[in-house]
Amino acid sequence: MTLIIKRLLALWLGLVAVAGSAAAAQPTLDDLLARSAAPPGVVFEIVDRDPAALVVALPWVKQAGERLKARFADLPMAVVTHGQEMFALQAGSRASNLAIHQLAEGLIRDDGIPVHVCATYAGWRGLAPEDFPAWIDVAPTGPVQIRNYEALDYVRLVVPRASLLKSR
């Protein structure tokens, strides 16, 4: 009986923790732009089930980055993509996803915004870090990469899902 109570208590505490973190509202782009002072940095999180999501997500990041830079000139930023969409960045799919590759390369080269993909998720699909171009950083895991930025006080900005961006 005591074991069951301990397990139920542990489950309840876990649910409270998850509910609490889910209830914490993520800031929006407008929230960040309305701040009087720049955050230490911004990490854009892209995670979508749509394999073609980067077609709309990367232009959104580009525009958001430009707006943030106009407001806070030296704001460091990064992108972490760790859903189905990240597979469009494979080196072998460059020809079929040329626009996506050019957008991602431009973020890195022109805007100084590094782009990270998730090695763990890639590994589940039988891919190695070498399957991505050298200019893409293949992080051990997407969520940990985001937490690493958050440990540097970067603010996580969740990129709207492709279905929402396409409907605008």
For the stretch 112-124, pLDDT in tens is 999 999 999 999 9
Q: Give, as one character, the DSSP assignment of residue 76.
A: -
Q: Is residue 17 part of a domain?
A: no
Tens-digit pLDDT profile for residues 126-167: 999 999 999 999 999 999 999 999 999 999 999 999 889 988
Could you tell me if residue 119 is inside a domain?
yes
CA distance to 17, 70, 79, 139, 144, per residue, from 156 (Å): 19, 19, 10, 17, 12
Specify if 77 maps to a domain.
yes
Q: What is the pLDDT of residue 92?
A: 95
**Residues paired with residue 137 on neighbouring β-strands, in sequence order:** 116
Q: What is the DSSP letter of 130?
A: G
pLDDT band at 168 (very low <50, low <70, confident <90, very high): confident
Specify if 144 maps to a domain: yes
Contacts of 115 (CB under 8 A, 6+ apart): 78, 79, 81, 89, 104, 107, 108, 135, 136, 137
Spatial contact of 102 and 135, defined as CB atoms under 8 Å apart: no
Residues 6+ apart with CB under 8 A from 143: 82, 118
Residue 89 lies in a domain: yes
What's the confidence (pLDDT) of residue 25?
82
Whether 35 is covered by a domain: the verdict is yes
The number of distinct structural domains making up the chain is 1
Q: In CATH, what number is assigned to the domain containing residue 80?
A: 3.40.1260.10
1 is a domain residue: no
pLDDT of residue 160: 94
**pLDDT in the model for residue 150:** 97
Domain that holds residue 58: 26-167
Quick: pLDDT tens for 66-96: 999 999 999 999 999 999 999 999 999 999 9
Domain membership of residue 20 (yes or no) is: no
